[in-house]
Amino acid sequence: MKKHLIMEIYDFLKHKGIVSTEADFSIDWLGQCESYLRGLRFKQTEPTLGVVAICASRLQQASQFIRQSPAHAHVADQFLALSQRCQEIVNADAAELELV
């Protein structure tokens, strides 16, 4: 489920022209090395909880920045919705681990 959301976010950002490669996304949005997303796909592994949290934070920051332009409020809402979905995963996993 985490990987599916991360891939959805990558596709969204690529469609919007914000990232052009998996390497850009891995570095700028996940805070990882350039091969991180490629590794997730080929190794059939899930992203770490920390990666999902970093992505949530960066999406939220982008939403706040985009919202400064009223003409782009709908795009800011999309960023915020993706951020909230990431945060829900983080919270659910933390509750499972009894960290919340």
CA trace torsion 71, 74, 78, 79 (10° rounding): 30
Residue 17, pLDDT score? 96
Global model pTM greater than 0.85: yes
Q: What is d(CA 39, CA 68) in angstroms, rounded to the nearest whole number?
A: 35
Q: What is d(CA 16, CA 52) in angstroms, rounded to the nearest whole number?
A: 20
The full set of domain ranges for the chain reads 2-96
The closest of 36, 60, 38, 49 to 95, measured between CA atoms, is 49
Q: Does pLDDT of 1 surpass 90?
A: no
Q: Does pLDDT of 68 surpass 60?
A: yes
Contact between 42 and 69 under an 8 Å Cβ cutoff? The reply is no
pLDDT in tens, 2-55: 999 999 999 999 999 999 999 999 999 999 999 999 999 898 889 999 999 999
